[in-house]
Amino acid sequence: MRGCALCGRRCGAVRGRGEKGACGAAGEMLVAQALIHPGEEPPLTGPAPGGSGAIFFSGCCLGCVFCQNYQISQSPGSGEPVSQSQLVDIMFRLKDRGAVNINLVSPTPYVLKLAPAVARARSRGLGLPIVYNTGGYDSPEALAVMEGLVDIYLPDAKLAPPPGDSPGDPDGRSMRLLGVGDYVWVNRSALVEMNRQVGEFTIGEDGLATKGMLVRHLVLPDDLARTTLLLPWLRETFGTGVYLSVMNQYFPSHMVKVGHNTQFRDWPGLGRPLSEFEYDGVVRQMMELGFDNAFVQETGASELLRPDFSKPDAFNWPQGHAHAGCPEISRNESELIGKNRKEGKCCEMRRNDMTSAACLAAMPG
């Protein structure tokens, strides 16, 4: 039996013997919740009453100290064991409830069992795009298993390296924030491979995504994620047409909750939400860099996006809120981004135009 090498940790756990990896996963798939999620990016949710068919797996390859899903990601043994057949049944139940895709959230530890289940669902006529929603710490081996089975990759790019770092250099900030020191290098390799597999993010005439890669980034206070360095790399590597979802929904959670963050006194920004001023600066940089397809969030998104996985439905969406005033973004609206950039109206645009066109409620996996 071969040891596990599905994420950058390459911990070597032998799942067939029931050994648990650092992610908390052993030999069986654990599902925390399966639900219709109306709060993903508009091309992934569609108009009401539909939504993304989200399947939240328990465990995670990372150890983010601010994780918003910590109840299931950082709690070994959370969730219910499911077989491949049961997972296929879950997919079809979500389809029957109106899901416009099947959204596999934090799937990396389970790809060896997921891949046959996805193939079986397709052979039975599932007919929905498969979304691979990941923290972005996937190994080449994991992505090779999923090649041809994933329609849409939805990875995080959580962090950039410090200036002057060379590939492979460990990063102390990454170790403290994410639990791994090599996140950036594993992540960058994974993004390139995902893009190779599925290509350009494509939206059909109905406004729904059909294929491609959409990269998510959660902006942290005080530029702790080095967003100002990450955005230029994304442009250099994937071009200005890459689809981005740049989120302002940070709030102190998990290890950095207010009153429990004494170990992060040197990073006081972790103890507060992201400010509008900080987020406006990121939007301004995106405009200056020339990105054409960037989703942004309204101020106050973090208030809505606080899951509680102790409840039967982790999200308490106000009736109609997730879709009200949130039409899908088209390429024409992306051109408006470029126009406003040239006219120096990026922050005004975010408050007026983009908040009505991209009222996102995106949740990182």
Decide if 192 is inside a domain. Answer: yes
Decide if 5 is inside a domain. Answer: no
Decide if 3 is inside a domain. Answer: no
CA distance 127 to 276: 41
Decide if 328 is inside a domain. Answer: yes
Across the range 24-48, mean pLDDT stands at 88
Decide if 239 is inside a domain. Answer: yes
Number of domains in the chain: 1
DSSP 25-46: --SSEEEEEEEEETTS-HHHH-
pLDDT for residue 154: 98
Decide if 224 is inside a domain. Answer: yes
CA distance 275 to 90: 39
Among the ranges given (27-36, 226-235, 254-263), the one the predictor scored with the smallest mean pLDDT: 254-263
Give the residue carrying structure tokens 């060896």.
Answer: 112
260 pLDDT band (50/70/90 cuts)?
low
Decide if 364 is inside a domain. Answer: no
Q: Which domain holds residue 81?
A: 26-357
Across the range 347-361, mean pLDDT stands at 31
| pLDDT, tens digit (0-9, with 9 covering 90-100), for 49-106 | 779 999 999 989 999 998 887 778 777 667 899 999 999 999 999 999 999 999 999 9
Decide if 260 is inside a domain. Answer: yes
| Six-digit token string for 310 | 């102790």
CATH number, domain containing residue 108:
3.20.20.70
150 pLDDT band (50/70/90 cuts)?
very high
46 pLDDT band (50/70/90 cuts)?
confident
Q: Is residue 216 a contact partner of residue 247, using CB atoms and an 8 Å limit?
A: yes
User: Whats the size of the chain, residue-wise?
Assistant: 365
